[in-house]
Amino acid sequence: MAQNIADVNEGNFKAEVLEATTPVVVDFWATWCGPCIAMGPTVDQYAQEKAGAIKIVKVNVDQNGSLAAQYGVMSIPTFLVFSGGKPVGQVVGAMSKDAFTAKVDAALAGK
């Protein structure tokens, strides 16, 4: 996991995501999830490219099930895109880096 990707839990989700001054991509994942693990390098690269402009955090659904339920996460990996403390988009499943970047950027652009 990239150095600038934080693990977030129920205790610090509000401060790290809802009160963030930059957009946040929340990666809902689990250690046993093959597609989640496959997306790891893509998420790491995206985090490095967008450092300072977009914050990336990870939520382990096994340890933070109430957060996953609160945001309607039904399958993983699910990436929720937050801006101004509100969810503005959702990206589900494993995909290429180009597809991931395009979907996250579109969510942030309000498309």
Tell me whether residue 9 is exposed, middle or buried, using C-beta atoms within 10 angstroms of its C-beta: 0 to 12, 13 to 18, 19 or more: middle
For the question of residue 36 being annotated catalytic, the response is yes
- pLDDT tens for 61-106 read 999 999 999 999 999 999 999 999 999 999 999 999 999 999 999 9
Residue type present at position 5? I
Q: Alpha-carbon distance 81 to 23, whole Å?
A: 7
Residue 22 DSSP one-character state: S
Global pTM?
Answer: 0.94
Q: Which domains does the chain have, with CATH numbers?
A: 5-108 (3.40.30.10)
Residue 81 sits at the vertex; the CA angle it makes with 77 and 85, to the nearest 5 degrees, is: 135
Selecting among 17, 24, 25, 33, the annotated active-site residue is 33
Selecting among 36, 57, 76, 80, the annotated active-site residue is 36
For the question of residue 33 being annotated catalytic, the response is yes
Residue 12 sits at the vertex; the CA angle it makes with 107 and 18, to the nearest 5 degrees, is: 35
Q: Is the pLDDT of residue 37 over 90?
A: yes
Q: Is the pLDDT of residue 3 over 80?
A: no
C-alpha R_g of the chain? 12
Q: Alpha-carbon distance 85 to 26, whole Å?
A: 12
Average pLDDT over residues 15-44: 96
Q: Is the pLDDT of residue 36 over 60?
A: yes
